[in-house]
């Protein structure tokens, strides 16, 4: 653990105790941890179209596909280094404690047999061409040990997954979530140009072995790329760069990735509309979007809440970046609820889809197990 972690741990613990909305995060490859917090426990909910003029941290739940709304944490308090963390802590100490109760709803787990039964039914619909792809998810609920520290867990994730966007956020009465996501939804550069990522397909990385991608995984990823291209053209953006398909590592697993780039002059005032058009991509929902969404609502036992939504800093430190909320967990007073999913196509095999969710869960479980032993 980093030697300067104590000020950060202290400020995280204090913000949780005072029940103020906050987020702490580390950019992929940066090693720099930043924290943003409000100075009052107020839930700020905005229409996504409005965020282009705001400075803060956006958290949009999966349901924002229907509501168009997201939570926004103001940058009343913001820092990216130890001295700044200490300044935030001093300011927090002067505020009144709220001590709001943890009123989070319990997550519903799905047994292996239930998952396989659901998978067979959904795959049959895909074979009948009622839809092209659907992403189904499940919850793995682990008991939270008394020794478990949220702040230590975040720091260990940040140390282990340097190539991911690692975050911890807390919204009073709505939840505390931690994650290490590999997927960019939209990243806006300082010059206004935008980067979008198409990421799909999953394979286990095994030492000394090359990854051989099957037609199912290639098809999954192509659906996402085609969808992004369609959304850009739908907004009248005809000129954009679409890179080659690459294999990229995300911890112990690999994905297929394509990068899109759009020049600032092509976007004008379309950024908010583009964000709403992109979410949710076929990588987290399916195609056609409406049909896939109905299947998800009908057959998943749990409410996805912030899983497969998106989040990230907006106009902070000269950066605006939104990431798809994957490889994530909800932290409650009693449990750690892991959310994992996978894309079903007509070629899917139920047992392999179950194994994929088990594989993805290891991203966090390996760190949780280490945390519980310390």
**Per residue of the chain (374 residues), what is the pLDDT tens digit?**
444 688 999 999 999 988 889 999 999 998 899 999 998 777 778 888 887 788 999 999 999 999 988 999 999 999 998 889 999 999 988 887 665 545 566 678 999 999 999 999 999 999 999 899 999 999 999 999 999 999 999 999 999 999 999 999 999 888 999 999 999 999 998 899 999 999 999 999 998 899 999 999 999 999 999 999 999 999 999 999 999 999 999 988 999 999 999 999 999 889 989 999 999 999 999 999 999 999 999 999 999 999 999 999 999 988 899 999 999 999 999 999 999 999 999 999 999 999 999 999 999 999 998 766 55
Residue 276 in tokens: 């709403």
What pLDDT is stored for residue 3 in this prediction? 43
CA distances for 296 relative to 135, 284, 338, angstroms: 8, 10, 17
Q: Does domain 5-99+108-373 have CATH number 3.60.120.10?
A: yes
Q: Which residues contact 305 (CB under 8 A, 6 or more apart)?
A: 61, 62, 175, 330
- DSSP code of residue 53: G
Q: Is the peptide bond preceding residue 280 cis, with omega within 30 degrees of 0?
A: yes
| CA–CA distance, 200 with 308 (Å, rounded to integer) | 13
What pLDDT is stored for residue 106 in this prediction? 66
Asked if 199 and 255 touch (Cβ cutoff 8 Å), the reply is yes
Q: Angle at Cα 363 formed by Cα 358 and Cα 369, nearest 5°?
A: 95
Q: What is the CB neighbour count within 10 angstroms for residue 44?
A: 14
Q: Find the distance separating the first CA and the last CA of the chain, reported in whole Å.
A: 12
What pLDDT is stored for residue 47 in this prediction? 85
What pLDDT is stored for residue 2 in this prediction? 45
What pLDDT is stored for residue 374 in this prediction? 53
| Burial of residue 154, with CB atoms counted within 10 A of its CB: 0-12 exposed, 13-18 middle, 19 or more buried | buried
| CA–CA distance, 164 with 162 (Å, rounded to integer) | 6
Output the pTM of the full model.
0.94
């Amino acid at each position: 653990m980093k030697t300067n972690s104590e000020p950060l741990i202290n400020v995280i613990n204090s913000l949780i105790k005072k029940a103020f909305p906050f987020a702490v995060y580390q950019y992929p490859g940066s090693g720099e941890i930043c924290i943003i917090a409000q100075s009052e426990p107020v839930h700020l909910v905005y229409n996504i179209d409005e965020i282009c003029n705001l400075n803060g941290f956006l958290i949009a739940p999966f349901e924002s596909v229907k509501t168009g709304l997201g939570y926004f944490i103001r940058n009343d308090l913001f820092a990216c280094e130890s001295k700044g963390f200490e300044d935030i802590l001093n300011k927090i100490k002067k505020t009144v404690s709220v001590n709001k109760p943890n009123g989070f709803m319990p997550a519903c787990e799905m047994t292996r047999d239930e998952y396989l039964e659901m998978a067979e039914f959904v795959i049959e619909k895909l074979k009948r061409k009622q839809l092209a792809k659907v992403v189904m998810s499940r919850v793995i609920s682990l008991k939270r040990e008394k020794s478990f520290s949220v702040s230590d867990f975040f720091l260990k994730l940040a140390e282990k997954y340097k190539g991911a966007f690692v975050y911890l956020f807390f919204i009073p009465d709505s939840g505390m979530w931690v994650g290490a996501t590999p997927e960019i939804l939209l990243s806006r550069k300082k010059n206004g140009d935008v980067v979008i990522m198409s990421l799909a397909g999953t394979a286990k990385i095994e030492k000394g072995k090359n990854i051989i991608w099957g037609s199912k995984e290639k098809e999954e990823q192509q659906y996402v790329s085609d969808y992004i291209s369609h959304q850009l053209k739908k907004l009248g953006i005809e000129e954009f760069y679409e890179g080659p398909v690459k294999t990229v590592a995300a911890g112990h697993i690999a994905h297929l990735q394509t990068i899109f780039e759009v020049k600032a002059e092509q976007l004008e005032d379309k950024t908010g509309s583009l964000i709403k058009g992109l979410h949710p991509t076929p990588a987290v929902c399916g195609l056609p979007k409406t049909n896939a969404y109905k299947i998800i609502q009908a057959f998943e036992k749990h409410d996805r809440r912030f899983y497969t939504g998106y989040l990230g800093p907006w106009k902070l430190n000269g950066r605006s970046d939104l990431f798809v909320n994957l490889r994530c967990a909800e932290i409650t007073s009693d449990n750690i609820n892991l959310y994992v999913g996978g894309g079903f196509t007509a070629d899917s095999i139920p047992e392999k889809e179950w194994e994929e969710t088990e594989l993805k869960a290891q991203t966090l479980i390996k760190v949780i197990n280490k945390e519980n032993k310390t």
